[in-house]
């Protein structure tokens, strides 16, 4: 005899579907989706907000619409849509038969497009008070963002189907803060300093020939310290650019290979580390100086490359290892 899933008892299908809407602003507030699957179909000229975490989301046959989709535990699949804009965070991202789609994305795996064109990607930026918890509930990691690492199933040597959005693209040009009454209590911020996901440079051309690796080792405040460091670098050292971040678990032998010393072999066993690549003239010395400020009065350990020559190998070893772990 099959057991009934008590979590699904009392659920109404219509609460998890938006379809056949035109010229409307609508969506769901925190606590109303709560990890269920969601579907949007056949909408035109709508602003659609899903301020909650979900299991999976399918978007079909939408035109001239703007979407905010809260963290998605598995996949978002966008099909047969055109002239739409998305702010979305997920484990897996895929489009098929889409045209002229702009996406601010946080994706923990490699995003995939198929039979799609005019696709433009940028780094996810958004904040509301419940969002960090929604990321945790969905199991989406904010530091493992592959927004620029696109795989095109329909490659064409004569046509590029995707590109990057301008680095200075403004979030409010994508999707404004909703003014509808049902969202009036939402405390939303579009400020890059408030974003739950760090803004990264991605695969764009690096501004400088000098990069460095910064690693925060796991403790009770590792993530908070990493964000504080990012914000301090953004405020005090705008000449340094955050290229990429990764959160990954290292074994002692992995740490030995990345850092070329055994000093960190024990501490990596405490849990996943957060690594960052910074780029910019004199970024090695700049990050070393800023890291010293963070280590004062703190038991938390930070690694920073000691020279440009060492940094090049350490960045390559750390991110090659992280990519292999992500592929497992």
Q: What is the CATH number of domain 211-327?
A: 3.30.70.141
Supply the pLDDT for residue 35: 97
Q: Is the pLDDT of residue 310 over 60?
A: yes
Ligand-binding site membership of 91 (annotated) = yes
Ligand-binding site membership of 125 (annotated) = no
Q: What is the dihedral of CA 244, 245, 246, 247, to 10 degrees?
A: -170
Q: Is the pLDDT of residue 214 over 60?
A: yes
What is the chain's mean pLDDT, rounded?
92
Interval 56-69 mean pLDDT: 98
Per-range mean pLDDT, top range of 3-17, 116-130, 297-311: 116-130
Instruction: Locate CATH 3.30.70.141 in the chain.
Output: 211-327
Supply the pLDDT for residue 9: 58
Model pLDDT for residues 245-289, shown as the tens digit of each residue: 999 999 999 999 999 888 899 999 999 999 999 999 999 999 999
Instruction: Locate CATH 2.160.20.70 in the chain.
Output: 13-183
Cβ-defined contacts of 250-259 (< 8 Å, 24+): 250/321, 254/321, 257/317, 257/321, 258/314, 258/317, 258/318, 258/321, 259/303, 259/314
Supply the pLDDT for residue 157: 84
CA distance 63 to 175: 15
Supply the pLDDT for residue 174: 82
Interval 71-90 mean pLDDT: 98
pTM: 0.92
* 13-183 maps to CATH 2.160.20.70: yes
Closest C-alpha to 319, from 250, 224, 262, 241: 250
Ligand-binding site membership of 94 (annotated) = yes
Supply the pLDDT for residue 297: 57
If one counts every other C-beta atom within 10 angstroms of the C-beta of residue 258, the result is: 26
């Amino acid at each position: 005899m099959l057991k009934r899933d008590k979590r699904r008892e009392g659920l109404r299908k219509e609460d998890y579907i938006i379809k056949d809407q035109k010229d409307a602003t609508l969506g769901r507030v925190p606590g109303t989706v709560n990890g269920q699957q969601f579907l949007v179909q056949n909408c035109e000229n709508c602003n659609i907000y899903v301020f909650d975490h979900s299991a999976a989301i399918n978007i079909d046959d939408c035109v001239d619409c703007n979407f905010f989709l809260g963290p998605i535990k598995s996949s978002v699949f966008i099909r047969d849509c055109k002239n739409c804009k998305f702010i979305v965070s997920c484990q897996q991202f895929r489009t098929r038969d889409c045209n002229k789609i702009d996406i601010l994305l946080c994706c923990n795996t490699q995003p995939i497009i198929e039979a799609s064109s005019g696709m433009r990607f940028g780094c996810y930026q958004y904040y509301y008070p419940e969002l960090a918890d929604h990321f945790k509930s969905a199991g989406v990691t904010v530091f493992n963002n592959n927004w620029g690492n696109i795989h095109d199933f329909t490659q064409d040597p004569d046509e590029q189907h995707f590109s990057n959005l301008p680095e200075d693209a403004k979030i409010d040009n994508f999707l404004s803060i909703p003014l509808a009454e049902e969202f009036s209590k939402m405390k939303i911020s579009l400020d890059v300093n408030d974003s739950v996901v760090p803004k990264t440079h991605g695969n764009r051309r690096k501004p400088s020939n000098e990069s460095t690796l910064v690693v925060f080792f796991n403790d009770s405040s590792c993530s908070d310290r990493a964000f504080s460091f990012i914000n301090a670098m953004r405020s005090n050292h705008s000449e340094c650019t955050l290229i990429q971040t990764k959160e990954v678990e290292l074994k002692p032998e992995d740490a030995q290979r990345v850092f070329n010393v055994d000093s960190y072999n024990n501490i990596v066993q405490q849990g996943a580390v957060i690594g960052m690549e910074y780029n910019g003239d004199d970024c090695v010395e700049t990050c070393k100086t800023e890291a010293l400020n963070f280590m004062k009065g703190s038991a938390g350990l930070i690694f920073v490359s000691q020279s440009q020559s060492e940094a090049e190998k350490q960045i390559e070893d750390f991110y090659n290892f992280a990519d292999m772990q992500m592929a497992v």
